[in-house]
Structure 1
Amino acid sequence: MAAANIPVIDISNPSQDESQVAKDLVEAAIEHGFIYIKNTGGDIPIDAVQGAFDLSRELFAAPLEEKQQCKYQKNNMGWAGMQYETLDPKNQRQTLVLLTQVNRVFNFGEFIDGQPQQPIPPSISHRTSQISAFRDYCYNLSLKLNTLLGIGLDVNPPSFFTTSHLRSSGPSGSILRFLYYPPLPLTPTAQPGIDVRAGAHSDYGSLTMLFRLPRQAGLEIQLPSGKWAPVPVSPPGTESDPAPPILVNIGDLLSYWTNGLLRSTMHRVVFSGEGNGVEGETDTEARYSIAYFCHPVGTSSLGLVPSERVRGFKGAQVGEGERGVLTADEHLQMRYVYSVSVQEKDRCVR
């Protein structure tokens, strides 16, 4: 299976032409919906990324009782175990819930003055400032990416996307998520090629930044042909970089804003099995990843962005229905309700 051919873009090199970088970013978002961003420490320090993964290991190794005191709430914050959401209900086997119940997800919501607005396991309470700082790094990089997308699309004003994501403008659904997937040997009933670690889905927000560790297999994107292609942690040319590139993907809301011009691509995490992954990557070890789901301010309207290129694109008229233009919060609640309803249905059929 050939790997996805996703462009690698350096957005932190001060000698580059910003307008060209913005154009490259937009073209990648149009064609693939995914972009590799070189991670040389210019936007997020390498040691901050490494420290976040160290924290993640500590978090998921914490006593179960601690994490259960911080269980997932309707506000999308907190801890949840394996299979807490069904991302691809049509294709996901019900029996997957019987796999080893290893802790899987912890969502960190908003921090105010460096303090979390949710319960934190005591084992990592001494790391609160580190979590807050890493979330701030991600937030600032998301603003930079939104600014470049505005420039690349000739939005008037170019700051349209950025302004819609400013914390000072109101609360949003932005989430910093730590993920843990058990290794294949700990899920002996899993069938590579049939079972998945995360079902096929698009992301709810405007864009997502994903941090991964070297040699950890599993992520795939759906190509326009409908076929699936693995997404290497370190694509060709980045193997000697100080850290794997940050993988950025376009979410539903940027697709809505641009009438489908920017692609919100379906993706999933699979048990790669033999011969189905990327050379040098494996799922025999535990898989850790960190995602920052960037959302605009909840009251933001998802009407078409003021861009001639967007107006001239004959897309799918996404984001507009019988009730008119949605807000970011309305879209998010619709996705939450769907996810919860599927979860309740799953419980009934077991």
Structure 2
Amino acid sequence: MSATGVPIIDLSPFEGPDAEESRNVELAVKEACENIGFLVVTGHGVPDDVILRMRQVSTAFFDLPERLKRQSVSEPGQTMGWVPSQKESLAATREEDTPPDLKESFDIRRPDAPEDEYYNSGMGQYFFRPMVWPKDPDEFRETWTEYYHEMERLAQRVMRLFAGALNLPHDFFADKLDRSVDYLRCVNYPAQDEEPLPGQLRAGAHTDYGTLTLLMTDDAPGGLQVQAPTGEWVDAPNVPNAYVINIGDMMSKWTDGRWVSTVHRVVNPNDSVRGSSRRLSIPFFQNPNYDALIAPISPHDGTNQKPQEVFMAGEWLMAKQNKSRVK
């Protein structure tokens, strides 16, 4: 357990040869998800060189002149491709009126979606529309695609772990995530040459929308803070090449609120380092299939549905995204 109350958990024993050690990982994750909704994981299996190349190519992209980044700008009203600074207000998803967030980002969806009706009609056209890839750097598309698939594999592993922690079969969520609406995003928090507006943060207080988030961040001033059950804001621990995992709203709904989707934010650096405090974060957001129905499940056998609380994952996700966009 870290000093902040966000636990650091080694995933490597999960599904290994020692059943007791594997179960201990599940129990540690269960406790974290019930108490704070955040954990930091090592033993995740993502190669260090893949993480390094993802950082390097993304930094090179954000260092490009704005005129070149605009060649990959998202469609009007959408968050895909390059999204300039102050075009998103995450606090608005909680009905808070704050200035836009001080960040720019690049987003992709599934980079190789099959040509079938699920991906190419209705909500599929919204969630899986074609990408406009940057021309520079040359290796951008290849690197992002490779990293996306590493995150997809890790997210699927974590969901098997979540199922075990809920005393469900490890494959319980598989058919709800086999065509998942996953987003890979890299966020550049530039050094702040000017003082932020009152109430303006790098990322306003919010909860994530889906099942889980995998976050690779760096050790730079002005970072991630988690709201503890006491209401206190605590810094998330920084462990080199470890992933911060938090559960989102839909995972909390699936557990009938037993697991908490915790409010978090990214704060500004203090005045003494504001002009030299660039920060790069790489979150991967896993969301269920857009046609998956979200309803409370029994912690034992998955049969205790509550139809009055059912909603479709895609509708929830679209509503949250629309609230966050600065008009």
Which of residues 57, 62, 73 is equivalent to 1:71?
73
Tell whether 2:322 aligns with 1:337: yes
Matched residue, 1:161: 173
Matched residue, 1:287: 279
Matched residue, 1:7: 7
Q: For 1:51-90, list aligned pairs within 5 A.
A: 51-73=53-75, 76-89=79-92
Contact 1:197 1:271 in 2 (8 A): yes
Contact 2:91 2:98 in 1 (8 A): no
CA shift digits 1:81-103 (9 cap, x unpaired) = 11211111465544x67x7xxx7
Matched residue, 2:120: none
| Number of residue pairs matched by the alignment | 305
The SS at the match of 1:338 is helix
CA shift digits 1:224-253 (9 cap, x unpaired) = 12221111313xxxxxxxx33210000011
Shift of residue 63 of structure 1? 2.8
Shift of residue 30 of structure 1? 0.8
C-alpha change, 1:194 and 1:336, in structure 2 (3 Å) is: closer
Paired with 2:104 and 2:83, the residues of 1 have a C-alpha distance of 6
Paired with 1:81 and 1:3, the residues of 2 have a C-alpha distance of 35
Matched residue, 1:302: 294
Letter in 2 for 1:22: E
C-alpha change, 1:283 and 1:328, in structure 2 (3 Å) is: farther
C-alpha change, 1:133 and 1:232, in structure 2 (3 Å) is: same
Shift of residue 26 of structure 1? 1.3
Contact 2:72 2:81 in 1 (8 A): yes
Which of residues 218, 221, 226 is equivalent to 2:226?
221
C-alpha change, 1:202 and 1:283, in structure 2 (3 Å) is: farther
Letter in 2 for 1:111: P
Q: TM-score, structure 1 length as denominator?
A: 0.78
Q: Name the % identity.
A: 26
Shift of residue 320 of structure 1? 7.0
Contact 1:3 1:231 in 2 (8 A): no
C-alpha change, 1:264 and 1:311, in structure 2 (3 Å) is: farther
The SS at the match of 2:209 is coil
C-alpha change, 1:267 and 1:320, in structure 2 (3 Å) is: farther
Matched residue, 2:111: 111
Matched residue, 2:35: 31
Mark the runs of 5 or more structure 2 residues left unpaired by the alignment: 115-128
Tell whether 2:196 aligns with 1:190: yes
Mark the runs of 5 or more structure 1 residues left unpaired by the alignment: 235-242, 276-280, 345-350
C-alpha change, 1:129 and 1:261, in structure 2 (3 Å) is: same
C-alpha change, 1:28 and 1:310, in structure 2 (3 Å) is: farther
Paired with 2:302 and 2:36, the residues of 1 have a C-alpha distance of 17
Q: TM-score, structure 2 length as denominator?
A: 0.83
Paired with 2:172 and 2:301, the residues of 1 have a C-alpha distance of 15
C-alpha change, 1:337 and 1:274, in structure 2 (3 Å) is: closer
Letter in 1 for 2:172: F
State the 4+ residue runs in structure 1 displaced beyond 6 angstroms.
309-312
Shift of residue 75 of structure 1? 5.7
Contact 1:255 1:263 in 2 (8 A): yes
Letter in 2 for 1:197: R
Letter in 1 for 2:66: L
Shift of residue 31 of structure 1? 0.6
Matched residue, 1:135: 148
Tell whether 2:254 aligns with 1:266: no
Shift of residue 194 of structure 1? 4.2
Contact 2:216 2:244 in 1 (8 A): yes
CA shift digits 1:254-295 (9 cap, x unpaired) = 0011111111000001114279xxxxx988321001000011
Paired with 1:335 and 1:260, the residues of 2 have a C-alpha distance of 18
The SS at the match of 2:173 is helix
C-alpha change, 1:60 and 1:255, in structure 2 (3 Å) is: same
CA shift digits 1:88-142 (9 cap, x unpaired) = 1465544x67x7xxx710001111179x930011103433222111100000000
Matched residue, 2:248: 251
Tell whether 2:135 aligns with 1:122: yes
C-alpha change, 1:256 and 1:335, in structure 2 (3 Å) is: same
